[in-house]
Structure 1
Amino acid sequence: EVGHIFHFGSKYSEPIGATVLGPDGTEVPVQMGSYGIGVSRLVGALIEASHDENGIIWPEAVAPYKVGLINLRTGDDECDAACEDYYGKLTNAGIEVLYDDRDIRAGGKFADMDLIGLPWQIVIGPKGLKNGVVELKNRKSGEKTEVTFEAALNQING
């Protein structure tokens, strides 16, 4: 139940003397009702409607972050610097970013990002850095592409 409606009738209007003129011109008590949305229930309904076997797939309009930035080689000076620089570029462009710089295996990072379900994932690793590319993944479609840093930013801002 995401929304609800309650009909109070004249339970509250009669004690305070709230009236309107009826069709025949006589005063009648106002009929009252309450309409509400269970905001806390919306999250559950959204997740139920938008998920797969790997986790949540947040629609961009309500995602807690737009991008999950994954550092494949935490502790590697080049990867750390590239990720921190790109994080700054993304946030300066007004994009909310969840940066995964945990020192765990790549598979764990990928699984966690899919579970969290942010609309976009950007993976930065040593091989991509040598070629000047990142891996850009669309969580909804699952499509992964290698693109330049600038192309990834442009596609996310799309």
Structure 2
Amino acid sequence: MKKTHYLMALIWSYALLAGCASMEQASAEREKLETEPLPQALASLGYEMEAPVEQVTDWSLYNWQAINQSALIIWVDAFHPYLFTLRERCPDLMFAQAVGVSNTGSIINANFDAIVVPNPPGGGQSCLIDAIYPLKKTGETGQ
């Protein structure tokens, strides 16, 4: 009986350590993205910025990824990612489970619309969009 308890404790300890290691790895990757200059952070994700645009039209929020407290990538479909830089830091962004985008009709405008980070219960953070950059995969030629 003692051997069974010992074995179970050993298995649970191993599982706990494995979980902590993967959490530490994810935390280290997030910290690296947060502290790297933006072009390097994008390059590590396999993207580079193109010239900024004033707006994105006919969009839907297909997917998103926070880069740091001042920037995130939003895919408007499976093949079209955009980098959104924010006017000020948006601390809740790095821990958000979801984001929204204020927009006029089906157009997102830099210097007018905002990234909205819901923060239950009953609150949230609205972060003004400073600039919008189309992204392309590193090494791709123009589309």
Using the size of structure 2 for normalisation, the TM-score is 0.30
Using the size of structure 1 for normalisation, the TM-score is 0.28
User: Which of the pair has more CA radius of gyration?
Assistant: 1
